[in-house]
Amino acid sequence: MDLVYADETRKDINVLHSYKLDMAFGKDENDFSADVDLHDHCCRKGYYIYAEDTEYGGIVDDIKADTEKGELTYKGRTWHGVLAHHVICPPPGEDYRVVSGEANAVIQQIIDLVGLSDLFIASTDDTGVLIRNYQFPRYCYAYPGILKMLKTYGLKLELRWVNRMIVAAALPVRDYSQDDEFDADKVHFSVEVKGRPVNHIICLGRGDLKNRYVVHLFTDEHGGIQPYTVNGVSPVEDSDYILDTSMQVLFGQDEVEEVYDNSSAEITTNYVPLASKPADWALHCDNYYKFGSNGEYTAVDKPQIGYTLQKKKPYDWTENYDDYYTYNSASNSYSPVAGTPAYTLLSSKPGNWNTGYGQYYVLSSGVYSPVTPASTTNYVRQTSQPDDWIHNYQEYFNEDQSRVEGISYDAYILQTKQPSDWDTAYGTYYRRATARELEENSGTKWYAVTLDPKGQVPRWKARMYYSKISRQMAPMWGEEPRYTKVQTAEAPQWSSGTYYQRVGQSAPTWQSGTYYSASALTAAPAWKAGMYFRAAIDHYASMIEKAIEKFEEYYGSDDLKISLEETDRVYDVGDIVGARESVTGITTIQEVVKKIITITNDDIEIKYEVG
């Protein structure tokens, strides 16, 4: 195989002679080393080494000379490593980076975002896969971030040097475990299955001693994570989590525990729309938030009201008693002192009606009540995607003033334990399309389970079968105009002979220690439905995320090594493979998470790590 080296401008110079290339990419490393004879020195820092139309190669970062052995080693990042050293950052003023579009087009978005468009270009092929509102973790590295995103949609990432550029392409994951379950009688391989990894993680977060935030996470024997939220709801605050050990399924010698200590765990703040006016709105509206045009949540301005208990009767009590207040402990609110009023019916519209209608009254069943405003509802078009669109899309409206509805999609949940109804309801479960079926029936990725060739219920295998559920997700932003509903208060239409003005009243009897004076009086903003939010604090989300990653690592630690010389296939990171050793009965169905490649001139050997 010709291994070409090119200068910093990617202009070809020549090919390496008598070389050995070692490279690895996937879950870690993502680097290479190329050994040549010391006298064949030809590369400098920043040079490129590649094999045309393959994934083999990288950028030279370091050069090591060994005069005793007469060897020279060029070291650097593979194409995967270049991506792995660039970070996907949230946009300014926003919490997360959210992307949408056709899969390859989204890859191009990320390439442009991290500043690699001079070297990388996404394939222009249409995958037929539409990524909707995918939210990257905060400040994640581009390579694992792209892999995780594509995996969600049953895709993998291919990187190839083509005509001086690295072409990045999203391709369907291929499941070879059903077509070719390697048997030791036919193919030599090494397989090590971890039989009892950690299945109970105790997550320790912020706080001290008994006040520390603690949550337990459990798996079943095959790594299936047990429920950790109340009623299966998506968690937004602390009360949504199951914090005790009630979901534990493995005990005694079968239980393997680990403590995950994260005293500086990130605190997540979610903003939940208020369905109704809070009881403490008048005095404590600053406990709540509004979503601004700058895409950020800001606290509502607090009314500046000071109340002072009056122990002596004020000199102006008789004339101005309604400038004082009484306190209601049940509602934690202050109200102007009420006297015995007198009212007169208005025959003409007051000059301050539009702004001061609240100081006039209506009479109903012998009771005078302040005039209530007429509510006007307006729909304000949103010119940019709101920060809470993914989670709170139902709080927004369409052009016809109907609420935005979610997009239904099928989700496939991997089954790690044999379902109790497998023998009778196997047909309600699914399997991933095999590599052969994927080639023959392009676009069909899932098949319902059927009887085996002998007409028998298929033998259960952990991590092979899936249950299908329907889920809802936010529509892609920009497909249609979206609006927020804003309700405003206006003066009701004037009607002569309907409204009253209070013309006088007498002061109530003075009682010491009962009445308050107010200073610097301002009011909370008028309540508007659908405009305000409460902050929901989540101390557990970041710990749970890390614990799940640990479980995935532990249960993905089976080690499968297969020599390329003994197989007729080459696998990619993300593909599914399986193997069975007949003497011990060890079987494994795993995802390829790393490729380890050694090329000595024209001799190629590839090993794989699975997880």
pLDDT value at position 560?
Answer: 65
pLDDT digits (tens, 9 = 90+) for 297-347: 888 887 666 788 888 998 888 888 888 888 888 888 888 888 777 889 999
Describe the chain by its helix, strand, coil percentages, rounded to 5: 15, 40, 45
Query: Is 336 or 611 the better-scoring residue by pLDDT?
Result: 336
pLDDT given for residue 602 in this prediction: 80
DSSP letters spanning 408-433:
EEEEEEEP-S--TTHHHHGGGEEEEP
pLDDT (mean) for 442-455: 85
CA–centroid distance for 494 within its chain: 52
pLDDT at 564 over 60: no
| pLDDT exceeds cutoff 60 at 520 | no
**Given this model, what pLDDT does residue 183 score?**
64
Give the angle subtended at the CA of 312 by the CAs of 309 and 315, to the nearest 5°: 110
Give which of 77, 80, 145, 89 is closest to 115, Cα–Cα: 89
Model confidence band, residue 566 (pLDDT cutoffs 50, 70, 90): low
Tens of pLDDT, residues 18-47: 899 999 999 999 999 999 999 999 999 999
Question: Scanning the structure block, which residue is given the tokens 């997880």?
Answer: 611
Average pLDDT over residues 501-513: 83
Contact, 393 vs 406, CB < 8 A?
A: yes
| Cβ count near 134 (within 10 Å) | 21
Confidence band for 562, pLDDT divided at 50, 70 and 90: low
Crossing angle of helices 142-152 and 103-113, in 10° steps, is: 160
pLDDT of 133: 87
Statement: residue 295 has pLDDT above 80? no
Of 213-222, 256-265, 508-517, which range is least confident? 508-517
User: What pLDDT does 559 receive?
Assistant: 65
Is pLDDT of 272 > 80?
yes
> Can you tell me the mean pLDDT for 49-72?
94
